[in-house]
């Protein structure tokens, strides 16, 4: 009886040892085998001998096929790389598959289903990717105190640095800086400006003077649209205008709108600043003023116009009175169109 019990015990230990050796040496877990064909399929091989090895190799092959047919890439490299296609420069009509780094834009040849060892190696060595990871771990809040007297604007907003580098937003901020402080466009090409920007964010991309000029014009159009929406809700607008000649003998005209906003605060905005070709006679000044007002679609809101006492402004006043009276009818009161 004792020997029988001992035999069963030895048999049980042998089974346990086989199970343990399978779990330690084989790359597939028992749960994986259940998903691919049930636990019984694994047990039917006998767990030893050549048949067992063949079965295990077959299971691994199924796992590979399953990965290729999946709807997503499981490798972490695809958080850093994008799959792109480009024409083959050496063979017309042929398309090459590439993997492009999202941070340094470097590209590597990649075929669907091939190894990603090269891409993983790049992840470890890519400086821009490592800087990106460091920035995500240490985000900062940039706060600005209210501006001092004489500076443009009453206060500056609180700006939070984004998690990812946004080149379009950086261009917009630089464009506003150039506009407010009247910096030259070429400043963005200066060596030390780019050194500072790269030090603050290694992902910063070089911006040329022509690019920043175009961005400044985009900011101008955006601000113009915002002002048009504000003026649309204003009932009455007063205008002031003046002309002067620069030392290059170029003549300029500026038209400024004054109004009271919804908070009962006096506001003024430059509607137009432009070069006015000679001769600067009254009808020319009046026509230029009316064209600007019509462009802003505020002909029905004008209640006063103030100019200096130059003789040519008398003719401008007479012409504008007639045009605004025809536009506004009996609601127009010409007594507020005057010369100081």
Print the SS3 string covering the chain. Answer: CHHHHHHHHHHHHHHHHHHHHHHHHCCCCHHHHHHHHCHHHHHCCCCCHHHHHHHHHHHHHHHHHHHHCCCCCCCHHHHCEEEEEEECCCCCCCEEEEEEECCCCCEEECCCCCCCHHHHHHHHHCHHHHHHHHHHHCCCEECCCCCCCCCCCCCCCCEECCCCCCHHHHHHHHHHHHHHHCCCHHHHHCHHHHHHHHHHCCCCCCCCHHHHHHHHHHHHHHHHHHHHHHHHCCCCEEEEEEEEECCCCCEEEEEEEEEECCCCCEEEEEEEEEECCCCCCHHHHHHHHHHHHHHHCCCCCEEEEECCCCCHHHHHHHHHHHHHHHHHHHHCCHHHEECC
Last residue of a domain, one of 225, 255, 290: 225
Residues 159 and 118 in one domain: no
User: What pLDDT, on the 0 to 100 scale, is given for residue 111?
Assistant: 83
Residues 19 and 55 in one domain: yes
Task: For residue 145, tell me if it sits in a domain.
Answer: no
Any idea which of 32-46, 52-66, 174-188, 263-277 has the lowest mean pLDDT?
32-46
Any idea which of 37-41, 261-265, 300-304, 324-328 has the lowest mean pLDDT?
37-41
Residues 165 and 133 in one domain: no
Q: What is the rounded CA–CA span in Å between residue 165 and residue 80?
A: 14
Pairing of strands 302-306, 337-338: parallel
pLDDT at 152 over 70: no
Confidence of residue 321 (pLDDT cuts 50, 70, 90): confident
Task: For residue 143, tell me if it sits in a domain.
Answer: no
pLDDT at 24 over 80: no
Q: Tokens 């060596």 identify what position? A: 191
Q: Which of 101, 163, 165 is nearest to 137 (CA)?
A: 163
User: What pLDDT, on the 0 to 100 scale, is given for residue 330?
Assistant: 52
Any idea which of 213-217, 279-283, 288-292 has the lowest mean pLDDT?
279-283
Q: Is the pTM of this model over 0.75?
A: no
Tens of pLDDT, residue by residue over 80-123, are: 899 888 888 888 878 888 899 989 988 898 888 888 888 888 98
What does the pLDDT average to over 64-68?
A: 43
Q: Rank 16-20, 159-163, 198-202, 314-318 by mean pLDDT and report only the highest.
A: 198-202
User: What pLDDT, on the 0 to 100 scale, is given for residue 10?
Assistant: 52
User: What pLDDT, on the 0 to 100 scale, is given for residue 19?
Assistant: 41
Host domain of residue 187: 152-225
Per the structure, the count of domains in the chain is: 4
Q: What is the rounded CA–CA span in Å between residue 55 and residue 44?
A: 10
Q: Tokens 């025809």 identify what position? A: 326
Instruction: Kindly report the backbone phi and psi dihedral angles of residue 138, in degrees, each rounded to the nearest multiple of 5, phi listed first.
Output: -140, 75
Q: CB of 128 within 8 A of CB of 104?
A: yes
User: What pLDDT, on the 0 to 100 scale, is given for residue 194?
Assistant: 94
Task: For residue 203, tell me if it sits in a domain.
Answer: yes
Residues 133 and 95 in one domain: yes
Q: What is the rounded CA–CA span in Å between residue 219 and residue 173?
A: 10
- Residue 84: both structure tokens together: 């792109």
Residues 245 and 194 in one domain: no
Task: For residue 44, tell me if it sits in a domain.
Answer: yes
Residues 320 and 255 in one domain: yes
Confidence of residue 329 (pLDDT cuts 50, 70, 90): low
Confidence of residue 179 (pLDDT cuts 50, 70, 90): very high
Last residue of a domain, one of 176, 209, 225: 225
Residues 115 and 91 in one domain: yes
Residues 322 and 240 in one domain: yes
Any idea which of 17-21, 95-99, 210-214, 251-255 has the lowest mean pLDDT?
17-21
Q: What is the rounded CA–CA span in Å between residue 92 and residue 299?
A: 61
């Amino acid at each position: 009886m004792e020997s029988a019990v001992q035999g069963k015990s030895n048999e049980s230990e042998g089974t346990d040892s086989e199970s343990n050796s399978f779990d330690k040496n084989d790359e597939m877990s028992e749960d994986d085998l259940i998903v691919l064909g049930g636990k019984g399929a694994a047990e039917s091989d006998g767990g030893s001998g050549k048949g067992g090895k063949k079965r295990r190799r077959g299971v691994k092959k199924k796992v590979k096929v399953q990965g290729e047919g999946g709807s997503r890439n499981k490798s972490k490299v695809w958080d850093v790389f994008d799959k792109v296609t480009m024409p083959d420069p050496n063979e017309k009509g042929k398309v090459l598959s590439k993997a492009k780094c999202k941070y340094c834009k470097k590209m590597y040849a990649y075929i669907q289903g091939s190894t990603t060892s090269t891409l993983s190696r790049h992840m470890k060595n890519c400086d821009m990717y490592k800087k990106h990871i460091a920035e995500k771990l240490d985000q900062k809040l940039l706060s600005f105190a209210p501006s001092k007297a004489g500076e443009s604007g009453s206060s500056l907003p609180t700006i939070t640095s984004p998690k990812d580098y946004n080149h379009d937003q950086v261009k917009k901020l630089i464009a506003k800086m150039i506009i407010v402080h009247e910096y030259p466009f070429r400043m963005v090409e200066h060596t030390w400006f780019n050194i500072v920007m790269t030090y603050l964010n290694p992902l910063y991309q070089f911006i040329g003077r022509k690019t920043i000029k175009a961005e400044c014009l985009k900011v101008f159009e955006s601000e113009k649209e915002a002002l048009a929406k504000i003026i649309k809700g204003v009932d009455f607008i007063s205008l002031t205008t003046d002309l002067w000649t620069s030392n290059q003998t170029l003549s300029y005209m500026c038209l400024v709108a004054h109004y009271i906003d919804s908070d009962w605060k006096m506001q003024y905005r430059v509607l137009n600043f432009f070069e006015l070709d000679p001769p600067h006679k009254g009808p020319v000044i009046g026509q230029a003023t009316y064209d600007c007002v019509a462009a802003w679609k505020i002909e029905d809101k004008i209640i006063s116009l103030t100019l200096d006492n130059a003789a040519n402004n008398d003719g401008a006043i007479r012409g504008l009175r007639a045009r605004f009276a025809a536009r506004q009818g009996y609601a127009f009161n010409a007594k507020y169109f005057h010369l100081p």
